[in-house]
Amino acid sequence: MTIETIKKEFPIFSRRINGKPLVYLDNASTSQKPSAVLDALTNFYTTSNANIHRGIHTLSEEATERYEATRKSVARFINAAVAEEIVFTKNCTESINLVARTWGHASIRRGDHILVSALEHHANLIPWQELARKKHAKLFVIPLTSSFELDMEAYDKLLSRKTKIVCVTTQSNVIGTRPPMKEMIKKAHAVGARVMVDGAQSVGHQRTDVVSMGCDFFAFSAHKMLGPTGVGVLYADYDILETLQPFLYGGDMVTSVEREHAVYRDAPWRFEAGTPNIADVVAFRAAIEFLEEIGMDTIESHDARCVAAAREALAGFARVRVFAPESGASCVAFTVDGIHPHDVATIFNSEGVAIRSGLHCAEPLVKDLGVPALSRMSFYLYNTMEDVAVARQALEKVFRIFSLTSNP
């Protein structure tokens, strides 16, 4: 499939924004959805809509089968050992909070150390801040180097027998940094620490193998990888998962209930209380199949070409500063001296180009970079070199409006 053919699978690209064809470069925030996903969602509601795990009638059994089929597809996609290691939540944020509220509250004690990286999205920072505060533990931050990589020497110094968990993203949602995951996990395990991985930015862009990676917990969201919103995933090693107590209680997560007590189901179902987002989970399977048909290696290579083209385009402008490591993936953050990123994004939008501006739910990182905010272009499998060219034209318009010279 050519990129142009792929793009035709996404109905939203027939839209025009301010009279211009839509150029969508905000994929790190959420991805667009192909017809296969939209059709799967409609098909479920029109043919098999029912609650799961409870009814013995045909619709309920069909809904249950389709919901659980997605669990198996997710397990295969990330190479989990068994489907029972996959918990469905409403987003990556809830998945991380689940770990903090279950494993964290049971395992962290006064004086223990929690390590987070300077790259983290608020979703993989605030839950650990709160846990450290409530448990009187200590939170430490792994800093960045001047080249926007994680400082591994500092990491080595921060690790100790007091370290109980290391929380790190596979890819920064702001600057695209990809930490050396296997190395970090191996070192964490050597001191007896668990590792919580936020995989939201990478899982839809490169091959993911949680067994090879060796992580204890891995979280991501469907909506960043062509799937619907409202579906999150938590992978956890089953030996850990089966020891955890639920943090949401209600229907469908129990095997029996008395007036005074209840017996909970085995993992993962004990963590999925109430009626879940059935239709969107079912449609998520179509997104996975779409990605698998194209191939994750193909997607990763295409992302790299888009990023390289974007960096080359930005290099042609004075006053533009790029915040991304040489090995950064799928997104490019930048500033234009003297112009607020919101103004940049507004002018881009006037040309039909959607980019992100602001703090990107990573305020401490942006502050570490020494800027008030950033603009960001982020790419995915349907973006073309023409999209990059249009973005460059939008940047030329920024310079014209503010009467700046664009010469390097």
Tens digits of residue pLDDT in 264-301: 999 999 999 999 999 999 999 999 999 999 999 999 99
Query: Going along 302-388, which residue ranges are E strands?
Result: 320-323, 331-336, 353-354, 356-358, 374-378
pLDDT category, 5, cuts 50, 70, 90?
A: very high
Residues 28 and 264: their CA atoms lie apart, in Å, by 37
Q: What is the pLDDT of residues 235-267, one digit of tens each?
A: 999 999 999 999 999 999 999 999 999 999 999
* CB 228 within 8 Å of CB 280: yes
Q: What are phi and psi of 233, to 5 degrees?
A: -130, 135
Which pLDDT value is given to residue 235?
Answer: 98
In angstroms, how far apart are the furthest CA atoms of the chain? 75
Check residue 372 and give its pLDDT.
Answer: 97
Angle between helices 278-294 and 58-78 (to 10 degrees): 40
DSSP single-letter state for residue 15: -
pLDDT tens digits, one per residue of 197-228? 999 999 999 999 999 999 999 999 999 999 99
ω into 325 cis (within 30 of 0): no
Question: Tell me, what's the pLDDT at 407?
Answer: 66
Phi, psi dihedral angles at 242 (to 5 degrees): -70, -15
What are 351's two structure tokens? 């040309």
Q: Buried b vs exposed e over 324-341: b needs ≥16 C-beta within 10 Å? A: bbeebbbbbbbbbeebeb
Residue ranges and CATH numbers for the domains of the chain are: 3-30+295-401 (3.90.1150.10), 38-292 (3.40.640.10)
pLDDT mean across residues, the chain? 97
CA pair distance 284, 222, nearest whole angstrom: 7
Mean pLDDT of 309-332: 93
Q: What DSSP string describes 198-255?
A: E-TTTTTTS---HHHHT-SEEEEEGGGTTS-SS-EEEEE-HHHHTTPPPSS-STTSEE
Residue 196, classed as helix, strand or coil, is strand
The conformation of residue 91, written as its DSSP 8-state character, comes to: S
CA pair distance 201, 6, nearest whole angstrom: 21
358: left (phi over 0), alpha (psi -120 to 50) or beta: left
Q: Which one, of 273, 316, 225, lies nearest residue 37 by Cα?
A: 225
Residue 327: pLDDT band (50, 70, 90) is confident
Please tell me the predicted confidence (pLDDT) of residue 328: 74
- Residue 263: enclosing H or E segment and its boundaries? strand 262-264
Are 106 and 244 in contact by the 8 Å Cβ rule? The answer is yes
pLDDT, average across residues 310-330:
92
Q: What is the pLDDT of residue 138?
A: 98
Chain segment 47-71, per-residue pLDDT in tens: 999 999 988 999 999 999 999 999 9
Neighbours of 4 (CB within 10 A): 10
Is the confidence at residue 405, as pLDDT, over 80?
no
pTM recorded for the entire structure: 0.97
Nearest to 282 by CA among 11, 63, 47, 95: 63
Residue 341 CA: distances (Å) to CA of 31, 97, 300, 328, 391: 21, 31, 27, 21, 14
Mind listing the pLDDT tens digit for each residue in 347-384?
A: 999 999 999 999 999 999 999 999 999 999 999 999 99
pLDDT of 408: 61
Known catalytic residue at 167: no
Residue 180 neighbours by CB under 8 Å, 6+ apart:
150, 152
Interior angle at CA 177, CA 313 and CA 338, nearest 5: 50
pLDDT in tens, 121-180: 999 999 999 999 999 999 999 999 999 999 999 999 999 999 999 999 999 999 999 999
Report pLDDT digits (tens) over 83-120. 999 999 999 999 999 999 999 999 999 999 999 999 99
How far apart are alpha carbons 282 and 290 in whole angstroms? 14
